[in-house]
Amino acid sequence: MRIADFGIARQNDAYYHTGMQTISLKLPDDLLAHLDSEAKARGLTKSSLVRESLEKALRKPAPGGQVSCYDLARDLAGAVKGLPKDLAENPKYMEGFGQ
């Protein structure tokens, strides 16, 4: 059996198992070019970038209007390339920090 037989699409070396509906979208040439270049620069598909942008634009604030620190910074996660994989866990990277 192939992945396509399950209706599962590949996205960034992961699979999403939720049902997805296809929509059609018309964009002006300059916006489409911007979408294409941003998707290539970030290593994403245009579809995943559009989904991410819609989720960000349509995200409702938490009850009481409070937004968490995570909500404010979640788009920054993984933004810096070339760092050690264990940066957050290995104490050797903290030696001499703050002195």
Here the tokens at position 43 are 């290593």
Q: What are the structure tokens assigned to 9, written together?
A: 């699409």
Tokens of 72: 């404010």
The per-residue pLDDT for 1 is: 45
Residue 36 vs residue 96, higher pLDDT: 36
User: Quick one: angle between helices 46-58 and 29-42, nearest 10?
Assistant: 100
Q: Determine the straight-line distance between the first and last CA of the chain, rounded to whole angstroms.
A: 58
pTM over 0.85: no
- Rounded distance between C-alpha atoms, residue 2 and residue 39, angstroms: 26
pLDDT digits (tens, 9 = 90+) for 41-91: 999 999 999 998 998 888 776 666 777 787 778 778 777 788 888 888 889
Neighbouring residues of 49: CB distance < 8 A, sequence distance ≥ 6: 35, 38, 39, 42
